[in-house]
Amino acid sequence: MKKMIAGILAGILVLTLMACGQTGGKTEEPADETVETEAEVTPDGEEHPVDDTFVGDWTSAEELAITDEIMGLFKIATDGLTGMNYRPLACLETQVVAGTNYRLLCGLAPVSQKAVETYALVTLYADPEGGAQFTVVRNSDAPVEVINSDEPMTGGWAAPETMEMTQEAAEALAKAAQAQEGASYQPVALLATQLVSGTNYSILCMTSSDDPDREFDYVILHVYQDLDGNAEITDTFTFAETE
């Protein structure tokens, strides 16, 4: 009887060993899953994963004034640049990327005693390490021919104390835009005024864009309002990327 029980136990042991040999004595682990994510290449040349907190849309700046932080970044970006003088005038938009993009309105002029300063749109990229560089520069033919004065003289363009739109300038633009079929303008900043027989206004505006990559674009309009309150757009200046 004992021999029979021993034989049965031996047989069970053999079957168990055979089963282990077929599976290698190991439990199969599930394969690792690799999830591919999109990445964005930022101006530093590196790829960074894209998520809702990483990349944002362009948003209007809380204030047009150039802050000390932006001025510090601007000085870093212009350090070593030759041939052109850049002067930051207003911060228009910001965008969160791997760092921050700033869209700035600047004065731009070649390094020359007789050079005419014109308005330009500059995209300033600030990386997380504190570096900064210009990534896009779009110039215009709109001259920056203003004097800083609280009491502008007749015939001369004068910069306002702030670039915030005044009610008078907004009303003049609205009247002038009525005659522009198919065009709409949203005022952004009052750049300058000129007292003549009436008033000229230099106004930075947003308008619809023909570029499929942009829903809107910036233009500078010169608006003339006569003494009777009639208004018209006398000049339109667009921005184009410099080569």
Q: In CATH, what number does 147-241 get? A: 3.10.450
How would you label 36-47 residue by residue, b for 16+ Cβ within 10 Å and e otherwise?
A: eeeeeebbbeee
Share of the chain above pLDDT 90, in %: 58
For residue 11, what pLDDT is reported? 45
37 versus 202: the higher-pLDDT residue is: 202
Residue 55 or 235, more confident: 235
What is the architecture, at CATH level 2, of domain 47-142? Roll (3.10)
* Region(s) of the chain under CATH 3.10.450.10: 47-142
Q: Which of 31-45, 60-74, 189-203 has the lowest mean pLDDT?
A: 31-45
Q: Which of 39-48, 124-133, 137-146, 186-195 has the lowest mean pLDDT?
A: 39-48
Backbone torsion region of residue 99, taken as left when φ is above 0, otherwise alpha when ψ lies between -120 and 50, otherwise beta: left
Task: Give the list of residues 6+ apart from residue 239 with CB closer than 8 angstroms, or none.
Answer: 119, 120, 121, 138, 139, 140, 217, 218, 219
Note the pLDDT of residue 204.
98
Q: How confident is the model at residue 56 (pLDDT cuts 50, 70, 90)?
A: confident
Contacts of 194 (CB under 8 A, 6+ apart): 152, 155, 156, 157, 158, 200, 201, 202
pLDDT confidence of residue 72: 97
pLDDT at position 156 is: 84
Q: Which of 111, 118, 105 is nearest to 144 (CA)?
A: 118
User: pLDDT tens, 189-243?
Assistant: 999 999 999 999 999 999 987 777 777 899 999 999 999 999 999 999 999 987 6
Q: Is the pLDDT of residue 148 over 80?
A: no
pLDDT digits (tens, 9 = 90+) for 159-195: 888 999 999 999 999 999 988 877 789 999 999 999 9
- State whether residue 85 is helix, strand or coil: strand
pLDDT at 16: 41
Q: How confident is the model at residue 93 (pLDDT cuts 50, 70, 90)?
A: very high
Four-residue CA torsion sign, 203, 208, 210, 215: positive
> What mean pLDDT is reported for the chain?
80
More confident residue, 56 or 150: 56
Report which DSSP code applies to 185: E
Pick from 94, 98, 102, 96: which is nearest to 72 by CA? 102
**Cβ atoms within 10 Å, residue 228:** 7
| Model-wide pTM > 0.85 | no
Closest CA to 203 of 211, 194, 192, 212: 192
Residue corresponding to tokens 């709109």: 142
